[in-house]
């Protein structure tokens, strides 16, 4: 292993979020970091003997692999020439290890923290043979879509340190898998090859013993220009602390903050969340075409004046489901959406995709049951793109799958609740992971409880219970902020018929399954209607023209029919090709459009529409 590679030097994370954030996180810390990407020793553990044989103490590794990278990639790289490609079918266990020299410590106020941008599904980490526990107290971290961190104890540290990582995953249908194959849904068609393991960067950084964590929630009351910040403190030394919040404009280089507030707290050891409210008179609102952002500098100051600082940006916006429309900042807003499945795209490729979706005329991107690099949320904030995010779904409906689903939702919320671009959440999609939604009261009870939780704890979002069909009605109240339908047909007269039946409130016979389950629901235009999937032209299972002017014209005709009706938004399927789904309109590598710019925009189409503008 090359110990002279440049990532051994500590680098600073100070700077602009948009240009100098090399780490997959949305909140910056004013400190130094050591990126541990690059060559790691690697070994598969097909018989799962590594724990029994204490590989974390000593092991002769057979291979070298580059982190970040998937287990699947690393398995391919270890194949002997001429051997066929092998894929794991039930369970995979892989071990990674590397050394790093201990950088100089800043002062007694600091400690070293190790962070994984994403890894899993099950991850265990050892430092010099000692098992580490996450800040949340986990010996094993579960989940592969969000970051997690370890504070490194002084007694474990050496001048040269060895990190050992064990990663395990299975085809278990009870874990949140998104569209990766499982024992229930096998690869092919709309189901994809697994992509698991060391999938995002890992880094060492110096953090303060007493600090604010990089978990910031933002809710705004735009009528009063009030912003509620939900901050998380991490304390080792109990005492009285001051939290100072400063808000700066991101568009003007003025050194003076627009607003400053201080909050005194008596904090015990451990972790605590605290809401703090600031008023920003005259603040501009955030939205498509007006992505007005502000910079928050948050400081935790101890009784001796020592300061720990984090930085993020935010925007003031309000989203509501009100009658037939989605209202953004109190204005009815038609959602011109597109379905996005990033798959294994790099951050730079996703960046190209986001710009291309904006060029298509979209104001909404539905990130389809996938975990993405959190810098993408920052980019959407800056571009003024609305995001619809979804919990990667399990593939079976059991008490354990619901427990795993809830844990994944909470992990995602902790890290992306500050972004004005994120406006809609789906709990489930097409009843994947809740297949018994129509017959099992326990399944419906869980979804209703999570819908109510989101309404109370995260009112800044709209929430969809089960996107596409089989929404839950309890006593005639829809437990979803949107009534959504997935409609696929390549035939224009059939498309017109389906849309007519949808806007008339027909709950049966429009989508593949009834639109509502549970108690009767009487539509009467009391919820916004969203056709949240349509098109798919080019994918064999959906039909329609493969490409060229014929496909462009079909998309234009179908979009015009949507806008002629009392529909609040639509989501075209889809942005890029992925595996067997060859229906994208954006080149996955270059971001180039294969259809005319503006094709998915409902502005300036010259068509007569009813009540949506």
- Tens-digit pLDDT profile for residues 300-313: 999 999 999 999 99
Helix residue spans in 217-282 (DSSP H): none
pLDDT category at 393 given cuts 50, 70, 90 is very high
Tell me how far apart the alpha carbons of residues 138 and 363 are, in angstroms, rounded to a whole number.
Answer: 39
**Taking the model in full, what pTM does it have?**
0.94
Tell me how far apart the alpha carbons of residues 613 and 610 are, in angstroms, rounded to a whole number.
Answer: 8
Tell me how far apart the alpha carbons of residues 433 and 393 are, in angstroms, rounded to a whole number.
Answer: 6
* Listed residue (514, 532, 611, 515) closest to 571, CA to CA: 532
pLDDT category at 11 given cuts 50, 70, 90 is low
For tokens 């490194």, name the residue.
152
Kindly state the DSSP code that residue 223 receives in the 8-state scheme. Answer: T
> How many CB atoms within 10 Å of residue 82?
5
pLDDT category at 13 given cuts 50, 70, 90 is low
Q: For 533-544, how does the pLDDT look when each residue is reduced to its tens digit (9 = 90+)?
A: 999 998 888 888
Q: Is 561 exposed, middle or buried (0-12, 13-18, 19+ CB in 10 A)?
A: middle
Q: For 222-238, how does the pLDDT look when each residue is reduced to its tens digit (9 = 90+)?
A: 999 999 999 999 999 99
pLDDT category at 253 given cuts 50, 70, 90 is low
Report phi then psi at 456, rounded to 5. Answer: -80, -50
pLDDT category at 610 given cuts 50, 70, 90 is very low
Token readout for 404 is: 């795993």
For tokens 């609740």, name the residue.
417
User: What percent of the chain has pLDDT above 90?
Assistant: 86
Q: What is the dihedral of CA 12, 214, 392, 286, to 10 degrees?
A: -90
Tell me how far apart the alpha carbons of residues 478 and 475 are, in angstroms, rounded to a whole number.
Answer: 8
Q: For 98-136, how does the pLDDT look when each residue is reduced to its tens digit (9 = 90+)?
A: 999 998 876 788 999 999 999 999 999 999 999 999 999
pLDDT at 612 over 80: no
Tell me how far apart the alpha carbons of residues 66 and 76 are, in angstroms, rounded to a whole number.
Answer: 12
Residues facing residue 45 across a β-bridge: none
Tell me how far apart the alpha carbons of residues 178 and 199 are, in angstroms, rounded to a whole number.
Answer: 15
pLDDT at 188 over 50: yes
Tell me how far apart the alpha carbons of residues 439 and 436 are, in angstroms, rounded to a whole number.
Answer: 5
Report phi then psi at 317, rounded to 5. Answer: -155, 160
Q: DSSP string covering 348-400, please?
A: HHHHHHHHHHHHTT-SEEEE-S----THHHHHHHHHT-EEEEEPPP-SS-SHH
Work out the average pLDDT over 249-273.
Answer: 90
Tell me how far apart the alpha carbons of residues 415 and 571 are, in angstroms, rounded to a whole number.
Answer: 25
Tell me how far apart the alpha carbons of residues 156 and 197 are, in angstroms, rounded to a whole number.
Answer: 25
Q: For 76-92, how does the pLDDT look when each residue is reduced to its tens digit (9 = 90+)?
A: 998 877 777 778 889 99
* Listed residue (311, 290, 326, 293) closest to 220, CA to CA: 293
Measured CA distances, 138 to 148, 166, 236, 569, 572 (Å): 10, 14, 18, 42, 40
pLDDT at 22 over 90: no
Answer for the pair 583, 573: CB distance below 8 angstroms, yes or no.
yes
Tell me how far apart the alpha carbons of residues 59 and 62 are, in angstroms, rounded to a whole number.
Answer: 9
Q: For 320-346, how does the pLDDT look when each residue is reduced to its tens digit (9 = 90+)?
A: 999 999 999 999 999 999 999 999 999
Can the peptide bond before residue 71 be classed as cis, meaning omega within 30 degrees of 0? no
Answer for the pair 385, 288: CB distance below 8 angstroms, yes or no.
yes
Report phi then psi at 2, rounded to 5. Answer: -85, 110
Q: For 446-457, how does the pLDDT look when each residue is reduced to its tens digit (9 = 90+)?
A: 999 999 999 999
Residue 8's pLDDT is 37
pLDDT category at 606 given cuts 50, 70, 90 is very low
pLDDT category at 611 given cuts 50, 70, 90 is very low
pLDDT at 3 over 60: no
Token readout for 418 is: 């500050």
Tell me how far apart the alpha carbons of residues 174 and 606 are, in angstroms, rounded to a whole number.
Answer: 48
Work out the average pLDDT over 424-450.
Answer: 98
* Listed residue (377, 379, 386, 485) closest to 147, CA to CA: 377
3-state helix, strand, coil in the chain (%, to 5): 15, 35, 50
Residues 6+ apart with CB under 8 A from 87: 72, 75, 193, 194
Residues 6+ apart with CB under 8 A from 232: 212, 213, 215, 216, 271, 272, 273, 274
Residue 87's pLDDT is 82
Answer for the pair 369, 389: CB distance below 8 angstroms, yes or no.
no
Helix residue spans in 369-491 (DSSP H): 375-383, 399-416, 441-457
Work out the average pLDDT over 425-445.
Answer: 98
Tell me how far apart the alpha carbons of residues 205 and 103 are, in angstroms, rounded to a whole number.
Answer: 9
**Consecutive H or E run containing 236:** none
User: What percent of the chain has pLDDT above 70?
Assistant: 94
């Amino acid at each position: 292993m090359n110990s002279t590679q440049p990532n051994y030097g500590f680098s600073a994370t100070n700077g602009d979020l948009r240009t100098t954030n090399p780490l997959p996180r949305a909140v910056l810390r004013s400190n130094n970091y050591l990126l541990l990407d690059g060559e790691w020793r690697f070994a598969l553990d097909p018989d799962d003997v590594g724990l029994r044989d204490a590989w974390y103490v000593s092991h002769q590794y057979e291979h070298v692999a580059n982190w970040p990278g998937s287990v699947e990639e690393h398995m391919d790289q270890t194949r002997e020439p001429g051997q066929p490609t092998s894929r794991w079918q039930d369970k995979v266990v892989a071990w990674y290890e590397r050394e790093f020299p201990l950088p100089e410590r800043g002062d007694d106020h600091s400690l070293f923290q190790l962070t994984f941008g994403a890894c899993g599904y099950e991850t265990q980490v050892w430092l010099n043979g000692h098992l580490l526990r996450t800040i949340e107290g986990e010996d094993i971290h579960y989940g592969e879509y969000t970051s997690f961190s370890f504070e490194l104890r002084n007694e474990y540290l050496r001048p040269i340190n060895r990190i050992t990582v064990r990663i395990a995953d299975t085809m278990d249908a009870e874990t949140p898998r998104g569209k990766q194959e499982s024992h229930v849904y096998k690869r092919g068609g709309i189901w994809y090859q697994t992509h698991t393991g060391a999938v995002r960067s890992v880094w060492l950084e110096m953090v303060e013993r007493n600090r604010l964590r990089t978990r910031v929630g933002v809710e705004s009351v735009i009528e009063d220009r009030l912003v509620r910040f939900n901050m998380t403190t991490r304390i080792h030394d109990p005492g009285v602390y001051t939290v100072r919040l400063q808000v700066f404009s991101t568009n003007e280089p003025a050194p003076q903050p627009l607003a400053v507030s201080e909050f005194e707290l008596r904090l015990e050891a451990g972790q605590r969340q605290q809401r703090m409210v600031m008023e920003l008179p005259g603040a501009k609102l955030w939205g498509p075409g007006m992505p007005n952002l502000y910079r928050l500098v948050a400081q935790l100051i101890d009784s001796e004046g020592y300061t720990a600082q984090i930085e993020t940006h935010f925007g003031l916006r309000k989203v509501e489901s009100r009658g037939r429309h989605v209202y953004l900042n109190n204005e009815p807003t038609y959602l011109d959406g597109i379905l996005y499945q990033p798959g294994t795209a790099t951050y730079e490729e996703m960046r190209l995709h986001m710009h291309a979706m904006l060029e298509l005329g979209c104001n909404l991107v539905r990130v389809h049951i996938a975990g993405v690099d959190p810098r993408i949320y920052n980019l959407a904030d800056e571009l003024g793109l609305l995001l619809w995010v979804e919990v990667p779904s399990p593939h079976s409906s059991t008490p354990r799958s619901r427990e795993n689903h809830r844990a994944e939702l909470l992990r995602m919320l902790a890290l992306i609740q500050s972004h004005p671009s994120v406006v809609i959440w789906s709990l489930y999609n097409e009843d994947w992971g809740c297949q018994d939604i129509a017959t099992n009261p326990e399944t419906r009870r869980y979804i209703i409880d999570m819908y109510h939780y989101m309404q109370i704890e995260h009112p800044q979002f709209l929430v969809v219970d089960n996107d596409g069909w089989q929404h839950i009605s309890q006593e005639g109240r829809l437990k979803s902020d949107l009534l959504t339908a997935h409609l696929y047909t390549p035939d224009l007269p059939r498309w017109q018929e389906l849309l007519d039946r949808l806007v008339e409130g027909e709950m049966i016979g429009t989508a593949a399954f009834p639109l509502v389950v549970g108690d009767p629901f009487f539509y009467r235009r009391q919820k916004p209607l969203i056709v949240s999937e349509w098109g798919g032209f080019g994918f064999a299972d959906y039909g329609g023209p493969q490409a060229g002017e014929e496909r462009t014209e079909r998309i234009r005709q179908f979009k015009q029919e949507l806008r002629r009706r009392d529909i609040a938004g639509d989501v075209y399927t889809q942005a890029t090709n992925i595996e067997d789904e060859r229906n994208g309109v954006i080149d996955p590598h270059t971001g180039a459009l294969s259809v005319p710019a503006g094709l998915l925009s409902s502005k300036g189409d010259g068509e007569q529409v009813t009540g949506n503008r």
